[in-house]
Structure 1
Amino acid sequence: MLPVVALVGRPNVGKSTLFNRLTRSRDAIVADFPGLTRDRQYGQGRVGPRPYIVVDTGGFEPVKSEGIVREMADQAEAAIAEADVVIFVTDARAGLTPHDERIMQRLRTCQRPVYLAVNKCEGLAAEHAAEFYELGMGEPIRISATHGHGVLPLMQKVLSELPEEFNEPEQEEEENPDAPKRIKVCLAGRPNVGKSTLANALLGEDRLIAYDMPGTTRDAIKVDFESDGIPFRLIDTAGLRRKGRVFEAVEKFSVVKTLQAIEDCNVCILVLDATEGIAASDAQIAGYALEAGRALVVAVNKWDGVDSYKRSMVDLDIERKFHFLRWARFIHISALKRNGLNHLMKAVKDAHAASFAKLSTPRLTRVMMAAVEQQQPPRVGRTRPKLRYAHQGGMNPPVIVIHGNSLDAVSDSYKRYLEGVFRDAFNLAGTPLRVELKTGRNPYAEDEKKK
């Protein structure tokens, strides 16, 4: 059983920097910008043989608040409730503030061990942390999350004073090679289309902040869950806008995190907003997934909020702007009312299965020969390309390699024809398919050159 350590404090004291230091990752976005972190972010750390789970939280305002600040406070409260120990992070350079005192009053009632960490102490004398004795937490632990100073003694102290059930080093379980791997599913789309609401609906709990304000999500938040016994890892991302509308440095970091999440996932769910219609940036986001070779499912959200005429117009718009995604499945859903989620998850599972499908060489070659019999490649000059055999060259996305003679002359339209034939024959819906042509070397070319 791994101990859970929650990082709590007011905005901009370095909680996310400490989270990255403890997890040895860059999962949390870090910038000199208050209120950057909003959702809970989980990660694993280790001190020697002692692993633990660390939870990053947004700036905590324990008194009555409204709007997004209230939502962030609820996330911090949830982290405190599930934690075994709390690290209260403060800022040595800003000094003790009334906000710190309000948080300390709340933590006194949490019935969890609380440790006071005074961050940003690099280059400062010990006297700068003296005022934090006023909080009544004993000796403050001076650290620098940026440089790593004092972080190891802090975690050694935290872990050594845990109850007996956490004192035994965690026995690492041997991985079962036959156990199914988690399917990584990424939610992508424009701001305020309902990605976090959809994530909460799939998880069955209010795990992420879903607020009626564009740009609520900033980090790429990863949450594990199961659907029909199949393990998934859901990644909620920040909304993507056109490059010309991205001005803040923080949003640029969020865009990078989102593009990395699309690159690393197995299946991308592109979330559209039926009430706002289909924008050019929606097709651009789909293009990112297509370029990365990721399986794709399109969720048309807020379908319950439009009438029959608007629905028909949205469907026509989808057909016109997403003509390059005819292989993807489009599912009408309502994340708020949890309608259509079963169909959505089935489409995700089918797309993942198609992306990792194993295609036998004999059957690929037979399908290719049947396609050539039905429609031969166009003649180029005096020669006609000759397709000899096909085999699978990769998965995620599936790659089909065709060998033959004079294949450099095969047109793109004929490659698309072959792609359609392979899709129908192997039921490869929901995933991109790449067809590569390789021309065999002419053994008589050298003799011709000598003549």
Structure 2
Amino acid sequence: MIPVIALVGRPNVGKSTLFNQMTRSRDALVADFPGLTRDRKYGEGTYEGQRFIVIDTGGLTGDDEQGLDAEMARQSLQAVEEADIVLFLVDGRAGLTSGDEVIANHLRKTGKRAHLVVNKTDGQDPDIAAADFYSLGFESTFLIAASHNRGIRSLLESLLPSAEEMEEQDRAERYPGIRIGVVGRPNVGKSTLVNRMLGEDRVVVYDMPGTTRDSVYIPYERQGSQYTLIDTAGVRRRKNVREVVEKFSIIKTLQAIEDAHVVILVIDAREGLVDQDLHLIGFVLDAGRSLVIAVNKWDGMDPEERARVKEQVRRRLDFLDYADKHYISALHGSGVGVMYESVQACYESAMAKWPTNRLTAILQDAIAQHQPPMVQGRRIKLRYGHQGGSNPPVIVVHGNQTDALPGSYKRYLENTFRKVLNVTGSPIRFEFRSSENPFAGKVDRLTPRQRVKKDNDLKAGRRPKKQRMKSKKR
């Protein structure tokens, strides 16, 4: 389904300018006086292969409109009813007005998915321009300059579903609820755990490696919640894989990890944590999936062996301090029921949606505590952040010289966001983007007067002004 985006706001806040930028056209008339647009105008745009429809509307004054103004208001309200997403534009130069407050109250009553867009932030500090508008209470706030096409790319990226999100919607239709993938090496008790979680013998269990050949998707309901369990084939080291059937089974297992929301990695407590378990963990994290560690076959072990295994898990999985670890017996069911709490927490963290103003506030607090380093005498600037996706959560940070940001500072930001947002079990991915330099690639051309002065300086043997200033500094 193609999303429909309606642009609403007071007169002369830049709705038609934004319409033209989003549709990459000049279909809407633009002039510096209010009331130019009176009817609803429809246009089609495309971003990263995703099509959408934009509706430009006449201005809402927020007062008791009469005559022509009343008809324009009716057209705008009709556009709000038709839209899937509403962009409420305000003027960053004029500041917050009573009309903005009236329109915001009306949008809240409609129950539509509405976002606040602060336009005309060029030539001033965007954070200062938007400060008054945060009192309107919108979850998502975007700062743009429509006339300069600034901030619109980030706006569309946040509003429109990505290709991964479209695939996620298709998976959700086929396999409802939280999808839980159970993976591990052969004969560690994956199928036994699946049967225990289901409460019935749904898949074949036998004490021989390779019993499960294909990934089995099992939808079910538990305490009013929908789940889909995915039982997978065991993954051995590549040098031990010889049968063609086993190679296809491993491919199916890796696909199941991609399909899952939460992955339960089953480890054999009696064999301990081996390198193949770490390889599987690496693949799960690379896929961006939430992770729960289940150390199985915990029954019958003496206290010394249990202490040794716990210490090994703590030491070798120190980098997974955010993932829950459970010591269970799939055969007897001990500790299995508690895992659902971890699965639920992982799912909520992976699919969480955070407003732009909250992410920006966390970023600014992190910078205040520990500033980015300096590169070639210039401080790296990180301006604002917004969410770029889910499962795993993606946070897009905009600034200057972000390519030079060291890995240690990126880890500092990840740990800060994880702690403040209370993200459990799920990795967090960051994307850093630098603002484009509007003067890049342009030649600094001298005016005729400047050329004459330069020629006279050269003839008189005087150095250019820039060189004189440098010598004074020395």
Structure 2-normalised TM-score? 0.56
Provide Cα deviations, 1:118-176, integer angstroms capped at 9, x if missing partner. xxxxxxxxxxxxxxxxxxxxxxxxxxxxxxxxxxxxxxxxxxxxxxxxxxxxxxxxxxx
Alignment partners' CA distance in 2, 1:238 and 1:359: 36
Secondary structure of 1:305's match?
coil
Task: Say if 1:394 and 1:400, in contact at 8 Å, map to a contact too.
Answer: yes
Instruction: Return closer, same or farther for 1:309/1:223 CA change in 2, 3 Å cut-off.
Output: same
Deviation at 1:264, TM superposition (A): 1.0
- 1:129-278 → structure 2 map (5 Å cutoff): 181-278=176-273
Alignment partners' CA distance in 1, 2:414 and 2:233: 33
Instruction: Return closer, same or farther for 1:382/1:229 CA change in 2, 3 Å cut-off.
Output: same
Are 1:368 and 2:363 counterparts? yes
- 1:440-451 → structure 2 map (5 Å cutoff): 440-447=435-442
Task: Give 1:401's aligned residue.
Answer: 396
Secondary structure of 2:338's match?
helix
Provide Cα deviations, 1:384-443, integer angstroms capped at 9, x if missing partner. 111100000000100000001111111111111101111111111111110111010122
Instruction: Return closer, same or farther for 1:335/1:450 CA change in 2, 3 Å cut-off.
Output: farther
Alignment partners' CA distance in 1, 2:307 and 2:378: 48
Deviation at 1:450, TM superposition (A): 6.2
Are 1:390 and 2:406 counterparts? no
Task: Give 2:351's aligned residue.
Answer: 356
Partner amino acid, structure 1, of 2:406:
S
Are 1:315 and 2:310 counterparts? yes
Alignment partners' CA distance in 1, 2:431 and 2:339: 31
Alignment partners' CA distance in 1, 2:322 and 2:350: 12
Task: Say if 2:176 and 2:219, in contact at 8 Å, map to a contact too.
Answer: no
Q: Which runs of 4+ in 1 moved over 4 A?
A: 447-451
Task: Give 2:425's aligned residue.
Answer: 430
Task: Say if 1:407 and 1:439, in contact at 8 Å, map to a contact too.
Answer: yes
Instruction: Return closer, same or farther for 1:448/1:315 CA change in 2, 3 Å cut-off.
Output: farther
Partner amino acid, structure 1, of 2:316:
K
Alignment partners' CA distance in 2, 1:233 and 1:226: 8
Partner amino acid, structure 2, of 1:336:
L
Instruction: Return closer, same or farther for 1:450/1:216 CA change in 2, 3 Å cut-off.
Output: farther
Task: Give 1:334's aligned residue.
Answer: 329
Q: Percent identity?
A: 50
Secondary structure of 1:320's match?
helix
Instruction: Return closer, same or farther for 1:449/1:355 CA change in 2, 3 Å cut-off.
Output: farther
Larger radius of gyration: 2
Task: Say if 1:275 and 1:305, in contact at 8 Å, map to a contact too.
Answer: no
Partner amino acid, structure 2, of 1:182:
G
Query: For structure 2, which runs of at least 5 residues remain unmatched after alignment?
Result: 1-171, 447-474
> Would you say how many aligned residue pairs link Structure 1 and Structure 2?
274
Partner amino acid, structure 2, of 1:284:
H
Are 1:285 and 2:280 counterparts? yes
Task: Say if 2:264 and 2:294, in contact at 8 Å, map to a contact too.
Answer: yes
Deviation at 1:326, TM superposition (A): 2.3
Query: For structure 1, which runs of at least 5 residues remain unmatched after alignment?
Result: 1-176
Alignment partners' CA distance in 1, 2:272 and 2:314: 13
Deviation at 1:225, TM superposition (A): 1.5
Provide Cα deviations, 1:269-306, integer angstroms capped at 9, x if missing partner. 10111111001000111111111111111111112232
Alignment partners' CA distance in 1, 2:300 and 2:412: 39
Provide Cα deviations, 1:205-244, integer angstroms capped at 9, x if missing partner. 1111111111111111111212221111111001001111
Deviation at 1:263, TM superposition (A): 1.0
Are 1:418 and 2:410 counterparts? no
Alignment partners' CA distance in 2, 1:304 and 1:445: 66
Secondary structure of 1:231's match?
strand
Alignment partners' CA distance in 2, 1:450 and 1:431: 52
Alignment partners' CA distance in 1, 2:344 and 2:407: 30
Task: Say if 1:392 and 1:401, in contact at 8 Å, map to a contact too.
Answer: yes
Task: Give 1:299's aligned residue.
Answer: 294
Alignment partners' CA distance in 2, 1:249 and 1:347: 36
Task: Say if 1:238 and 1:254, in contact at 8 Å, map to a contact too.
Answer: yes
Structure 1-normalised TM-score? 0.59
Partner amino acid, structure 2, of 1:249:
V
Partner amino acid, structure 2, of 1:304:
D
Deviation at 1:344, TM superposition (A): 0.6
Alignment partners' CA distance in 2, 1:217 and 1:393: 37
Partner amino acid, structure 1, of 2:189:
G
Task: Give 1:379's aligned residue.
Answer: 374
Deviation at 1:449, TM superposition (A): 6.5
Partner amino acid, structure 1, of 2:320:
L
Are 1:347 and 2:342 counterparts? yes
Provide Cα deviations, 1:64-110, integer angstroms capped at 9, x if missing partner. xxxxxxxxxxxxxxxxxxxxxxxxxxxxxxxxxxxxxxxxxxxxxxx
Alignment partners' CA distance in 2, 1:351 and 1:277: 25
Alignment partners' CA distance in 1, 2:285 and 2:323: 11
Task: Say if 2:388 and 2:394, in contact at 8 Å, map to a contact too.
Answer: yes
Secondary structure of 1:402's match?
strand
Secondary structure of 1:303's match?
coil
Secondary structure of 2:227's match?
strand
Secondary structure of 2:416's match?
helix
